[in-house]
Structure formats: C-alpha cells, structure tokens
C-alpha cells in the first residue's frame, strides 16, 4: 500500500477513489491501512463491489460522476475481470482516467486471457517483488514438472508469490512442529465441555505451536520469512508494471528505503518521482499525464477570471484582439509558469470581469464557485474574503511594502533653514552674487559716488549692489542687475517652497494604514478546489529556483528603485543641476555687460587722449604766436661798458 501511496504523491494527485471487494477482512484491515498510507491524498469515495451485486453498473456510474479520476482497485482477479470489462464499455478506460491495481490483481495478470488484457490497457499495477535465486529456479523446475505430470493438458504455469508464500508457511509450521517435538510436552484440552457441542477444544500444544510459528525466522522462497509484533512482515520491494498491448511491461521498482528505482538493488537516497521509470502508457494514450480530477478539458477549459480594469496594470491587463481575450502582466506570467510545471495538462481561457474583487467573491456566497475556477490578478488577502474563497501561497513577498514619502526627523531644527539648498548650491549662489556685484561695482564706481566710499561700503556692494543705497547710474549695470534680480526671485521662491515642504508636508502620514489592504498577491480558488495545493507547491518551487525573481525583474525593467537608505532631508534638496540655466544666464549677461563696459571705457580713454593731444598742440601754437608778437615789440638798446676805477 505504501508503494501505491508513493505513486499517488509522485504525480501530485490529491483525490482518489478506492474500489474493493465487499469482504470483511478487506474493509476492516486493508482499506484502513491504505487510507493511512495515502496521507494527504483525500479519498473521494469508497465503493464496495460484489460479483453478485445487482447495482454493479450503478456503482461504476456513480464513480464516473465523481470529480476524482484516480481509482485504486483491490479485488480478486475474478471481480477485476468483470470490473474492467464494464468500465471499458462505459468509457472509463479513456483519456483522463487512472487505474491502479494491488498485488491481488497484478500478480495474476499472467493468468488472464487476452480479452481481459485488452480491457485493462493503461492500468498501473503494483506487486510484491521476489529477487531471483538458485533456490527459486530449482523450485520452479520441480513445480513445472509435477504440474505437467498431473495436468498434462494445461499450459505451463509459473508459481505465483502466493504459492511461494504458502510453501514458506508450510515450512514455518514444519519448523515449529520440529522444534516442539524436540522440547517435548503433553496435550491438554481447555475450554471444552461435553454439554456444549459448539465449544471449541483448545490444545496447549496448539498455543505453543502458534508461538513457535511466530518466532520462526528464515529465508524462504518468498524472501525473509518472519513475524513482527505478531503480524507477518510486510514486503519492502515492489514491482511496478504497466498494461500495454497483449501483456504488460515492467516499469521499475519501488523500494521502501530508497523510493523509485530502475533496478531492484538498494541504493542511497530517496527518489520520490516516478518519472525516472520512463514513459507511462495511460488509459487513452501516453501523450499527457492525467491530472486526476475532472474540471478542465479541451471542451471545458479552466475558467480563469481576470479583472478587466486592474488598479496595477503591471500585474494584469486584458487585451481583446479579433474577439479573442488574452491577458498579460506579472500575475499572468506567474500563472503560465505554474501551468508549465504542473505534471498534467490544464487547458484554460480568460474571462474578464468588471466588478470589484469583493463583489465578485461575495456575490451569491461565492460567485467564483459557480462561474470561475480560479481568479488571477493583483488580489490581496483579507480576513473577510476567507469566508468565501481560499488563497494560494503568495507569489509576492509576504510582508507589507509601501512606496510613500520619507518622513523627515528634523533632528537639527536650528539649522533647518540651510537644508533647502545643498552645499554646492549655497557656494555657487555666493560666487555668482560676488561676480555680479563686482561687475556692477566696476561699472558704477566711475560714475556713482556711493561706490567710492569706505572699504566696508564697497565690500557690501560687491555682494549686493543695492546695499550702496543710491540708484544705479549706468544702463549696463541696470541691465545686469535686472537679470540677477530675476534669478534671485526664482531661487527665493524655490527655497521658500522647499523649506515649507520640509516643515509641513514631511509630517503627513500615509493614506493607507489598514493591514488588510497591503498584503501579497495570490491566486484565488473556490473552497475545496483540488488545484490549490498544486499551485501553492509550484509557487514555492519557482520562488526557490529563482524563476519568480526573473519574472519580477522583467516586470520592473522600466523602473528603478534603490534600497540605499538616505537622509530624508537630502531627497528634495535643491542642487545646481536644477538651476544651471539660470546661473548661466545671469553670469553670461554680466560678462557681456562687463565686456561692453570695457569696450566703451577703452573708447573713451582713447578719445580723451586724442582730445588732450589736440588741446596741447593748440596751446603750443598759441604760445609761440604770443611769444613772437611779444618779441617784435621789444626794443634793443646798445650796451655801454664803463671801466671800474680803483
């Protein structure tokens, strides 16, 4: 039974139906043991059949109407022959069905005729495995000789496991009797009265013989023969066969301590996937693995509900091209990736809806259950929705993530007025102010007495020319000052706005504060959907192998977010990159004005020198003319020399 349970788990089948013969031992011992071995697989139905039951066909028809398509059959070979013949006529040996037989049937497949094999095409069988040995070969030869001598008209028969086990059981009894005869003893009858003819005589030798049988331990034809806690030791090796064609073929083995294997030899590890055994021929053909339940077929595909208008189109968006509805987005990519990994085929089609998620889920106490098989989108988990639906494993991080404005701590309130501008902005503003002030000072100094005052007055005028107090006299300086005032006005406005934002807007709280509105995206299923476990498991697998991260990167290819933590006040501080055009304008205007002033000054200097030169020449001519005229008016008298007397 553990081998059958391993097959069920290997193909991710969640619901099974058990068909067994209506015998007390089977109902009270075998079926409970099988149910315990199945574990997580839910038993959809249990059907007890009898060869003499008039409702045989009705029971099969009931099984056909159930959603489960996995049938485990534990009956006699005679009842199984009728069962599969009727199931074949009812179309239950077709695509989508799975039939698994226990050792009671599988070990007898060599005994049935070809018509029975034809009705069992695609059946998986599990039987106890006996490792070949020289002892078994000798026994087989002796068995065939004796069988042929007693039944010469019959075909050659191979001894089955039940025959080998019976042979070992006889040997166990013989060993126990032999051991009892060695120890000796006497026979004493218990619990028997002559007045009660229905009482059963019990011999003390019989009880001791039973104890001797339970203590027997030897290697027989069927393997190790011993009892464990009063029960016969279960087999640890099983052979898996697949009915194909005129007989069956061996797929491989299931070993209790190492799982599925192509070889009967023990090995390390535990292989849980039956896929290593190769291709399985299922009822209807080997092309696709049956999903185990009926919900979606090519005629009735899976109905996938998607929002026609999603709040987040990156997750899901619906397109309608040539009257064909398609969907794309992150949630749809995850959904399609899961379908690729499922061990069974699942046709689907998208059905857009225009109402809200809550309306869809709550209408008629579960509208999804009536109209849709699954809902895919940017669906969040909320406590109220659990009353109507079930959610898969989240495929976005299971935490709360918000993209909101970062709150400023305002730890240094005394210097908060410096925060709107970054350091480079303050430095550049100061340099441009000094440069513009120097230009205005150089232009105005020659014609404005206020710019020729003390050192402190002239220093103040360098930073801000209006500190001089008088109106500017030169048109060039006025033009440069107008441009600088415009730039200063823009900077002041931005400074004020940024400072106000730091002092007020930073204190705003996020508008989304309810936990239920900020949970992970999931797929939504109706209550009891067999798809839920498969989807959740596949979501975990694509998360572990990195595929989910690749899909997220593909969705965020056009977006870039940084995880680096920065000071909140640094986020919106103004930098020169935002105002380089204004700074370039005012510096350029001041430079042009300064150049024009320099040209004008140089021109005036040349003119002054020329005027001065002309004035010098005129004065010289006038001086020479006056000197000549004066010379003409001077009379020259003779000089008389008188000697000096001693």
Three-state DSSP class for residue 412:
coil
Angle at 425 between CA 485 and CA 495, to 5 degrees: 60
pTM for this entry: 0.53
Taking the CB of residue 132, how many other CB atoms lie within 10 A of it?
Answer: 9
Domain assignments of the chain as residue spans, ordered by start: 2-129+235-277, 160-232, 302-403+518-545, 413-509+570-622
pLDDT (tens digit per residue) in 527-567: 767 677 778 878 888 888 888 788 877 776 656 555 555 55
CA 425 – CA 412 distance, rounded (Å): 20
Does the pLDDT at position 242 exceed 80? yes
pLDDT of residue 293: 74
Average pLDDT of the segment spanning 293-300: 63
pLDDT of residue 616: 65
Measuring CA to CA, how many Å separate 92 from each of 21, 68, 69, 144, 365?
A: 19, 12, 9, 38, 34
pLDDT (tens digit per residue) in 126-151: 998 888 788 888 888 888 888 888 88
Pick 611 or 554 by higher pLDDT: 554
pLDDT of residue 21: 87
% of residues, the chain, pLDDT over 70: 71
CA 239 – CA 225 distance, rounded (Å): 19
Look up the CATH superfamily of 2-129+235-277.
Response regulator (3.40.50.2300)
**With contact defined as beta carbons under 8 Å apart, do 17 and 70 qualify?**
yes
Taking the CB of residue 304, how many other CB atoms lie within 10 A of it?
Answer: 22
Residue whose entry in the numeric block shows the structure tokens 């109507």: 388
Does the pLDDT at position 630 exceed 70? no
pLDDT of residue 642: 58
**With contact defined as beta carbons under 8 Å apart, do 293 and 355 qualify?**
no
End-to-end CA distance of the chain: 177
CA 449 – CA 65 distance, rounded (Å): 109
CATH of domain 302-403+518-545: 3.40.190.10
**With contact defined as beta carbons under 8 Å apart, do 98 and 292 qualify?**
yes
Contacts for 469-478: CB closer than 8 Å, 24+ residues apart: 472/440, 472/444, 472/448, 473/444, 473/447, 473/448, 474/443, 474/444, 474/447, 474/448, 474/597, 476/443, 476/593, 476/596, 476/597, 477/439, 477/440, 477/443, 477/444, 477/593
pLDDT of residue 327: 87
pLDDT of residue 31: 79
pLDDT (tens digit per residue) in 489-516: 888 888 888 888 777 755 545 544 444 4
């Amino acid at each position: 039974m553990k081998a059958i349970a391993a097959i069920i788990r290997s193909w991710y089948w969640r619901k099974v139906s058990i068909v067994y013969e209506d015998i007390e031992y089977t109902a009270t011992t075998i079926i409970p043991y099988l149910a315990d071995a199945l574990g997580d697989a839910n038993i959809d139905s249990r059907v007890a059949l009898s060869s003499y039951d008039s409702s045989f066909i009705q029971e099969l028809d009931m099984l056909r109407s159930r959603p489960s398509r996995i049938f485990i059959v534990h009956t006699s070979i005679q009842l199984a022959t009728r069962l599969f013949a009727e199931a074949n006529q009812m179309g239950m040996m077709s695509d989508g069905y799975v039939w698994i037989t226990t050792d009671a049937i599988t070990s007898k497949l060599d005994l049935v005729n070809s018509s029975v094999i034809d009705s069992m095409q695609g059946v998986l069988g599990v039987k106890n495995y006996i490792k070949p040995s020289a002892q078994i070969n000798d026994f087989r030869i002796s068995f065939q000789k004796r069988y042929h001598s007693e039944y010469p008209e019959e075909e050659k028969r191979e001894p089955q496991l039940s025959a080998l086990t019976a042979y070992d059981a006889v040997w166990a009894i013989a060993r126990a009797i032999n051991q009892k005869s060695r120890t000796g003893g006497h026979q004493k009858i218990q619990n028997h009265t002559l007045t009660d003819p229905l009482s059963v005589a019990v011999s003390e030798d019989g009880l001791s013989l039973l104890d001797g049988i339970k203590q027997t331990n030897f290697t027989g034809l069927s393997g190790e023969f011993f009892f464990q806690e009063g029960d016969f030791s279960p087999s640890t090796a099983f052979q898996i066969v697949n009915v194909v064609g005129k007989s069956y073929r061996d797929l491989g083995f299931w070993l209790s301590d190492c799982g599925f294997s192509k070889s009967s030899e023990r090995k390390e590890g535990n292989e849980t996937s039956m896929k290593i055994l190769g291709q399985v021929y299922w009822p209807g053909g080997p092309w696709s693995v049956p999903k185990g339940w009926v919900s979606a077929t090519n005629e009735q595909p899976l109905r996938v509900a998607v929002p026609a208008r999603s709040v987040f189109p990156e997750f899901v968006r619906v397109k309608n091209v040539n009257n064909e509805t398609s969907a794309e987005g992150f949630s749809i990519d995850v959904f399609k990736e899961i379908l690729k990994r499922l061990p069974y085929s699942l046709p689907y089609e998208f059905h857009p809806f225009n109402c809200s998620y809550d309306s869809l889920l709550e209408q008629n106490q579960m509208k999804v259950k009536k109209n849709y098989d699954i809902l895919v989108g940017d669906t969040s988990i909320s406590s109220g929705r659990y009353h109507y639906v079930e959610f898969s494993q989240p495929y976005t991080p299971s935490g709360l993530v918000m993209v909101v404005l970062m709150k400023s701590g305002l730890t240094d309130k005394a210097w908060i007025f410096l925060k709107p501008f970054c350091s480079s902005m303050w430095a550049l503003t100061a340099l441009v102010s000094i440069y513009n002030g120097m230009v205005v000072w150089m232009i105005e100094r020659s014609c404005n007495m206020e710019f020729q005052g003390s050192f402190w007055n002239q220093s103040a005028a360098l930073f801000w020319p209006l500190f001089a107090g008088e109106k500017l006299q030169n048109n060039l300086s006025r033009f440069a000052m107008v441009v600088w005032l415009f730039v200063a006005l823009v900077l002041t406005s931005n400074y004020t706005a940024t400072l106000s934002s730091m002092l007020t807007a930073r204190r705003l709280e996020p508008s989304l504060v309810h936990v239920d509105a900020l949970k992970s995206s999931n797929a939504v299923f109706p209550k009891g959907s067999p798809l839920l476990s498969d989807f959740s498991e596949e979501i975990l697998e694509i998360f572990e192998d990195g595929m989910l991260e690749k899909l997220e990167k593909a969705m965020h290819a056009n977006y870039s977010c940084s995880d680096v933590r920065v000071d909140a006040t640094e986020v919106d501080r103004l930098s020169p990159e935002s105002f380089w055009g204004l700074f370039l304008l005012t510096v350029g205007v001041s430079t042009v004005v300064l150049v024009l002033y320099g040209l004008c000054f140089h021109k005036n200097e040349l003119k002054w020198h020329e005027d001065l030169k002309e004035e010098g020449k005129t004065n010289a001519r006038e001086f020479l003319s006056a000197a000549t005229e004066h010379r003409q008016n001077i009379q020259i008298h003779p000089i008389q020399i008188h000697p000096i007397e001693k």
